[in-house]
Structures are given as structure tokens and as C-alpha cells.
């Protein structure tokens, strides 16, 4: 199972919005609603930010939103804050009953 | 407090074995599917394995199938990963993680993660 494809880096200024894409195939992202997004600051474990494409766990700010079109899922962070600077990873359920992660996107808040 | 604490990592020679443990607390361990995920230095997470609530069903990534075995002891609130025939490419931080669920419906998303334990395979 190949990793999902994410841009290596994105950046934005405080208050702006950024969108991170996550491209898979018809065997994962394209066929299932089971897409998740994780935030990982350096030296820490990943934290679940979005599940089921667009649902937010309790405690995650509504500045974080998710969507999907075809084989590509997206994470949008609006009203960018300095504390949002971290690596972001997408994940999807697959047709082989496994999970696959993306390669990660480093978000820099300018 | 809901918590997962991994242990058992260390330095092992290629071809060697290691058993990781993950102690769960603060939630009803036996009610949740559990996973192992690993992350090599500077790389993204890679899913390794999953086990259902009573240990009767398991799944593995192709890269570890036949070498790694996931198991659990619900009486001890502990998840395990037995790793045999270790290779240099197995070097990573290994995380245990809880699968998010609502009642009996599970989301294939990991809502609680441990701090990780480091496995280094080198001669």
C-alpha cells in the first residue's frame, strides 16, 4: 500500500487560511469516508484533528475543517495561529482492511 | 486520565526479537480496537497492525506480516507487539493507539496515542 500524497510544505500568515491536500486512489480515499487528519508538533505524538472526512473530535477548534472530492481529501485551517505550526498527516482506510498514512505536510506560520 | 504508555523498546541486532507493551488506563480497554503505528526518524507514520476488542481478529501491514504478532490481555489492560526477524528498516518510534468509536461503530481513526517507544535495529 503506497503512502497517500501530500505537499511537503505549506505556509501562511497569522489570520490567513491554508489548505493541505491528500491524494490517494480508488482503493482508499476515493472509496471510503474514513479519512482522518493528525497534527504532530515536533517531538510529540500525533493528535487526531479530523475523522470521517469532516468530523471534529471534542476540543478541536472549528477553525479546522475537512472535505473530500474524488480521490483527494483536504484539510483547511482558517484564522491561522502560531500554535498551528506543526506537521500534518492524513490517513485513510483501504480496500485491504488496513490504514494508510500520507507522507506529511509541514505547516509554517510566517 | 485516559493514557497509553508504551515500553519495551531498545537496541536489537538484525534478526533479533523484541516485545513491546502498551499499558492502558482511564478507559475500558476491552471495549476498544487497538493499533500499533511506527514512525521512522524524519518520516511520516506508518500503520503496523490492528486488533479487535477480544483479540480474535488481527490485521497487519504487508511489511510486517509473518514477522510481527499483535495481542492483548484485557485483564491486564495491556496491548503487545511481538517483533521477530527484525530488520534495519524496522527502526522507528512505535506508538500504540486507540481507535475512535461511538458505541459499536468504529471510525478507523486513532484518537488516543501513547508517547512512543524507540526500537533501533543495528549491529
Residue A100, C-beta contacts closer than 8 angstroms, at least 6 positions apart: A1, A2, A3, A4, A24, A28, A91, A92, A94, B47
Q: What is the pLDDT of residue B75?
A: 98
Nearest to B97 by CA among B43, B27, B10, B40: B27
Q: Region B14-20: what's the mean pLDDT?
A: 98
Residue A92's pLDDT is: 97
- Polymer length in residues for chain A: 110
State whether residue A45 sits within 8 Å of chain B by CB.
yes
Is pLDDT at A67 greater than 90 in this prediction?
Answer: yes
Q: Looking at the predicted structure, is the pLDDT value of residue A1 above 80?
A: no
User: In this predicted structure, what is the pLDDT of residue B103?
Assistant: 84
DSSP-assigned states of every residue in B51-75? E-TTSS-EEE-TTTTTTEEEEEETT
* pLDDT tens digits, B33-56: 999 999 999 999 999 999 999 999
pLDDT reported for residue B105: 86
C-alpha span between A62 and A49 (Å, rounded): 10
Q: What confidence tens digit (pLDDT) does each residue in A76-90 have?
A: 999 999 999 999 999
Whole-number pLDDT of residue A74? 98
pLDDT in tens, B94-112: 999 999 998 888 889 999 9
The verdict on A97 touching B (C-beta cutoff 8 Å) is: yes
Please state, in angstroms and rounded to a whole number, the distance separating the CA atoms of residues A33 and B94: 27
The answer to whether residue A14 scores a pLDDT higher than 90 is yes
Q: Could you tell me which of B12, B107, B8, B93 has the C-alpha nearest to residue B50?
A: B107
Task: Give the A:B interface size as CB pairs under 8 Å.
Answer: 66
A45–B113 C-beta distance less than 8 A = yes
Q: Would you call A101 an interface residue with chain B, using a CB distance cutoff of 8 Å?
A: yes
Amino acid at each position: 500500500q503506497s503512502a497517500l500524497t501530500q505537499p511537503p510544505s505549506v505556509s501562511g500568515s497569522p489570520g490567513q487560511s491554508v489548505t493541505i491536500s491528500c491524494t490517494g486512489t480508488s482503493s482508499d480515499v476515493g472509496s471510503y469516508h474514513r479519512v482522518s487528519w493528525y497534527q504532530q508538533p515536533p517531538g510529540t505524538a500525533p493528535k487526531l484533528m479530523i475523522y470521517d472526512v469532516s468530523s471534529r473530535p471534542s476540543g478541536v477548534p472549528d477553525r479546522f475543517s475537512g472535505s473530500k472530492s474524488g480521490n483527494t481529501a483536504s484539510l483547511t485551517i482558517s484564522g491561522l495561529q502560531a500554535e498551528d505550526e506543526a506537521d500534518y498527516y492524513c490517513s485513510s482506510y483501504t480496500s485491504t482492511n488496513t490504514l494508510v498514512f500520507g507522507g506529511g505536510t509541514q505547516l509554517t506560520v510566517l | 486520565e485516559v493514557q497509553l504508555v508504551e515500553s519495551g523498546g531498545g537496541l536489537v541486532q538484525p534478526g533479533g526479537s523484541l516485545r513491546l507493551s502498551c499499558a492502558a488506563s482511564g478507559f475500558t480497554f476491552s471495549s476498544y480496537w487497538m493499533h500499533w503505528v511506527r514512525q521512522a526518524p524524519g518520516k511520516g507514520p506508518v500503520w503496523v497492525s490492528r486488533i479487535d476488542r477480544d483479540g480474535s481478529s488481527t490485521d497487519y501491514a504487508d511489511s510486517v506480516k509473518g514477522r510481527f504478532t499483535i495481542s492483548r490481555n484485557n485483564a491486564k489492560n495491556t496491548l503487545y507487539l511481538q517483533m521477530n526477524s527484525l530488520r534495519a528498516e524496522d527502526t522507528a518510534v512505535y506508538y500504540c493507539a486507540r481507535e475512535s468509536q461511538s458505541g459499536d461503530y468504529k471510525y478507523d481513526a486513532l484518537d488516543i496515542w501513547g508517547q512512543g517507544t524507540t526500537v533501533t535495529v543495528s549491529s
